[in-house]
Structure 1
Amino acid sequence: MKRLVVALLVAIVLTSFLALPVPDKAGHPNVILFFMDDMGYGDLSCYGALGYQTPHLDKMAAEGTRFTNFLVAQAVCTASRAALLTGCYPNRIGLYGALGPNSPIGLNSSEETLAELLKEQGYATGIFGKWHLGSQPQFLPRQHGFDEYYGVPYSHDMWPLHPAQASANYPPLQLIEGDKPVKAVNTLEDVSELTSSLTHRTVQFIRKHKKEPFFLYVPHPLPHVPLAASTRFRGKTARGLFGDVIEELDWSVGQILDEVKKQGLDKNTLVIFTSDNGPWLNYGDHAGSTGGFREGKGTTFDGGHRVPCIIRWPGKVPVGRVSNKLLSTLDILPTVASLCGARQPTQKIDGVSFEALLKGDESAAPREQFYYYYRRNSLEAVRKGDWKLVLPHEGRSYEGQLPGTNGMPGKAPENHPFPLALYNLGRDPGERYDVKDVFPAMVTELQRLAEEAREDLGDDITQRPGKNVRASGIASK
């Protein structure tokens, strides 16, 4: 009799438990953010690449929205990553260039990252790949909102074996687990294992956190030089090693999205794919393609700033759509935070939410203007709509230079003079035809916009400090 009573009580409890409402995760979608390194606008087959195929990313584009007017905040590693994770122009928060292994600066702890905002909402957070926002212990990902970290702290060309920088005296490059080095990256064979190992760790993270909302940041170290592909992909494409590397990265995306589907998470997962800047063109056959835009990495022309961007979220983001609206990596933080029910950062940011546009409102135009800063804090161009005013400056230029081969770079002078010039990117996306003499009123309007930027963010060229810039973090001694 007692057994029967116990059995009935257990049945009642189980029935009551099963009748409880299932937690609604609609307001807390999973987020996967892929961030490639030095992948140009023309480096996916859905953006016109030749000599290899990217079927998984092409499928992602077909199942989501492909953006064609998407800009990075700066065309260089550290600065671009700082903007992505904080929604700020990197010069606003004191970061610039590509920080070396021994740099005493990094992302200030007072800056709020997307990982920190989502963590407040109960998200599990992980990064698997390249960090490059400071390699000192206080600057590593776990100090900026990430629960798990496995990857390299900076670019993998900052190592003793760099063929063109043997005199740089770089320390050995280490893979980091959490906050501690776990394995040296000493050879190109070690580099060839990065894509597969990071993919494996990402898949493990999805399995581990499938019952809670998660934010996954996957900043692959490749196709930044030196290039290396695993034996499975090596020698497979007509484009040579560069094509092999891209096909392996495409495989990685496919593996991760397949795992999302296997775990039944597909309809509640927002996936964003983009790159940190355009291709490093003087590396020739080891560099990617700008898709016809002018110049490349390390310049403020669109070959350096315009990158591929694909966003997929079944049932929320329109499928098979191409959007030509102006957007930036600055805009990812405010958009994702809004979609996930998180608050916005307390300090001033520069990103704007494009949630309405993302969900299909074609009348939405969230971003109208953009500032092209480079070096420490040099304003080199401003944009409003289709109009771009290049301000007088000296900078890198690849044009007229013979590119390198087999991993060795060609020349790319850093002091090429660029005069004042006005371009209509709607008609002249290659920035070839200076029309400042035809549209003097537009020059005046964009010069006014440049003055607003200098007042707010400063400008080294005109020796303006800026009223609203903040300091980077400084490593404690």
Structure 2
Amino acid sequence: MAQQRKPNYIVIFMDDMGYGDLGCYGNRVLKTPVMDRIAADGVRFTQMYSAAPVCSPSRCGLLTGKYPQRVGIPRVLFPDDTAGLTQRDKTVAAYLQEHDYSSICIGKWHLGCLPEHNPIRHGFDRFLGLLYSNDMSPVHLYRDESVIETDTDQSALTEKYTDEAIRFIEEHKDKPFFCYLAHTMPHIPLHVPDAFRGQSAGGTYGDTIECIDYHIGRIMQTLQEHGLENDTLVMVSSDNGPWYEGSAGGLRGRKIDVYEGGVRMPFIAQWKGVIPPGTECGEVASLMDLLPTMVQLAGGRLDEAAGIDGKNIAPLLTGEGVSPHEALFYYYVDCLNAVRSGKWKLHVAMGGPQRRIRKEMPQLFDMELDPGECYNLADRHPDVVARLTGLIEQFDSTLQPVPNVVRGKRSE
């Protein structure tokens, strides 16, 4: 992958947007021309997976490159939690900071509420956003470590976040930068400004997606105006599958499930002059792969003892090479539910230890023939079940989860 300078990075991360919510993934209800253009001008992945089917652990996997169980954030965090991201686990922003990158976290953080969890304590130079989900109280807007708005107008957040991203890009256009833009929408409760309300055929949910698409267009226009398109890798995805609304693209399951609808994510990327237009990637990859890919493209090295689970997928961005993963594992909190290896996906549990449905397990699916996970082939391929069960047992025994899941009342 040829490049002349360290690339800028923009990661745009939606909250609960489904695999099937974009036109470039087959949606015929919602209008997403900007994101569709990013896919057309770059690469579209069809087998990109989140590290978890819910908010906090999925974001943990993205930013640390590790399974969230290894970090100690296997479940959704709440405003009264004392758990959160610690200095033990280095974020992609912290790695890039060592290589003269300026970085900003905009939008939903959701990796802890105490001062030591704040994004600016974890490699980001600046922060504007919410510390947790918009259905949690109080909804306070932070700048760095200070509250700047109480009971913030959520309908204005998408535009406000975008304005901040554009300011940051313009201020740092002459040196490498990393902009992590984690939109609050389309997580419920849905909020949309009047200019977009009632415009989508997909109801209020569709209004929020089309609003986000429009504002992503403003960011892409800013890159073009400043001649940054050839220097900037733009990546767009979502944290987990859709909740009450939205499309999983015909896949089984939704948010919370480790069936495909809960963990298979839309992922599109553009880097003009590097990624050939119209590239398609059907290789298995994980959002945990973004950290090692970004660090190594920037000329950095990973800490060998850090236990990074992600892999460098730079070749996949240009449609070359094969998946670097022998297997990907899917947890519900701290219970390993399923594994994907090659074309096979094996489910051995559903939910946590108290929700196991033993009579329906194991479930084995051929993901090439049956991406909807409709037809259990476990009795036809006992050798595959045995091999994948062995992978599960080996991985689960060596993961050594961090006991950072105690929920306790925090002091303000």
Normalised by the size of structure 2, how large is the TM-score? 0.94
1:254 alignment counterpart: 217
Alignment of 1:357 onto 2:299: no
Q: What are the Cα deviations for residues 156-206 of structure 1, in whole angstroms up to 9, with x where unaligned?
A: 0113xxxxxxxxxxxx210000101110135xxx11111000011110101
What amino acid does structure 2 have at the position aligned with 1:263? H
Name the % identity.
40
- From 120, 140, 147, the counterpart of 1:181: 147
Q: Distance in 2 between matches of 1:424 and 1:436?
A: 10
**Aligned-residue RMSD, C-alpha:** 2.0
Partner of 2:349: 392
Partner of 2:55: 77
> Within 5 Å, which residues of 2 pair with 1:271-350?
271-280=234-243, 283=244, 287-346=245-304, 347-350=306-309
Mapped pair 1:382 → 2:324: no
Q: How far 1:357 sits from its partner (Å)?
A: 2.2
Secondary structure, in 3 states, of the residue corresponding to 1:432?
coil
Given that residues 280 and 319 in structure 2 are in contact (C-alpha distance below 8 angstroms), is that contact kept between their aligned partners in structure 1?
Answer: no
Indicate the SS of the match to 2:396.
helix
Which residue identity does 1:36 align to in structure 2?
A: M
Letter in 2 for 1:381: A
**Quick one: which amino acid aligns to residue 334 of structure 1?**
P
Aligned pair partner of 2:84 in 75, 86, 106: 106
Which residue pairs with 1:242 in the alignment? 205
**Paired residue type of 1:155:** S
Matched, 1:430 2:396: no
Residue 250 of structure 2 aligns with an amino acid whose one-letter code is G
Q: Output the CA distance in 2 between the equivalents of 1:30 and 1:372.
A: 31
Summarize the alignment of residues 390-429 of structure 1 with structure 2, pairs less than 5 Å apart: 390-394=347-351, 418-429=360-371
CA drift of 1:383 comes to: 1.3
Structure 1 distance, partners of 2:363, 2:322, is 29
Contact 1:107 1:473 in 2 (8 A): no
> How far, CA to CA, are the matches of 1:334 and 1:207 in structure 2?
26
Q: How far apart are residue 414 of structure 1 and its match?
A: 6.8
The one-character-per-residue Cα deviations of 1:408-442 (angstroms, maximum 9, x if unpaired) are xxxxx977665211111111111111111111110
By relative contact order (CA 8 Å, sep 6+), the higher-ranking structure is 2
Deviations 1:189-237 (A, max 9, x none): x111110000111101011111111000000010001111111111111
Structure 2 residue aligned with 1:208 = 171
Aligned 8 A contact 1:155 1:221 in 2: yes
Query: Cα–Cα, structure 1 residues 473 and 300, in superposed 2: closer, same or farther, change >3 Å?
Result: closer
For structure 1, the residue ranges without an aligned partner over 5 or more in a row are: 1-24, 160-171, 397-412, 458-465
Alignment check: 8 A CA contact 2:10 2:181 kept: yes
Contact kept? 2:74, 2:405, Cα under 8 Å = no
Please identify the structure whose Cα radius of gyration is greater.
1
Partner of 2:9: 31
What is the count of residue pairs matched by the alignment?
Answer: 406
* Aligned counterpart, 1:447: 389
Secondary structure of 1:105's partner? coil
- Aligned pair 1:45/2:23, yes or no? yes
Aligned counterparts of 1:471 and 1:209: Cα–Cα separation in 2 = 39
Deviation at 1:368, TM superposition (A): 3.0
Aligned residues of 2:234 and 2:269 also touching (Cα < 8 A): yes
Superposition TM-score, scaled by structure 1 size: 0.82
| Residues 1:57 and 1:109: Cα distance change in structure 2 (over 3 Å) | same
Q: Report the Cα distance in structure 2 between the residues aligned to 1:414 and 1:157, rounded to whole angstroms.
A: 25
- Match for 1:340: what amino acid? A
Residues 259-316 of structure 1 deviation map (CA, whole Å, 9 limit, x = unaligned): 1111111110011111000001xx2xxx111001111100111100001000110111
Can you give the 5+ residue segments of structure 2 that lack an aligned partner in the other structure? none
Contact 2:102 2:176 (8 Å CA) reproduced: yes
Give, in angstroms, the shift of residue 345 of structure 1: 3.1
1:265 partnered with 2:265: no
The C-alpha deviation readout for 1:47-67, integer Å capped at 9, x for no partner, is 112322100001000000000
The separation in 2 between residues aligned to 1:294 and 1:473, in whole angstroms, is 29
Distance 1:473 1:305, change over 3 A: closer
Where 2:337 maps in the other structure, the secondary structure is strand
Work out whether residues 388 and 424 of structure 1, in 8 Å CA contact, stay in contact via their aligned partners in 2.
yes
The CA deviation at 1:394 is 4.3
CA 415–393 in structure 1, closer or farther in 2 if over 3 Å, else same: closer
Which of 118, 133, 156 is the equivalent residue of 2:134? 156
Aligned to 1:169: none
2: distance between equivalents of 1:226 and 1:414? 27
Partner AA of 2:345 in structure 1: K
Asked whether the equivalents of residues 43 and 318 of structure 2 are also in contact (C-alpha less than 8 Å), the reply is no
Q: What secondary structure, in the 3-state scheme, does the structure 2 residue paired with 1:271 have?
A: strand
Whether the aligned pair in 1 keeps the contact of 2:279 and 2:318 (CA below 8 Å) is: no
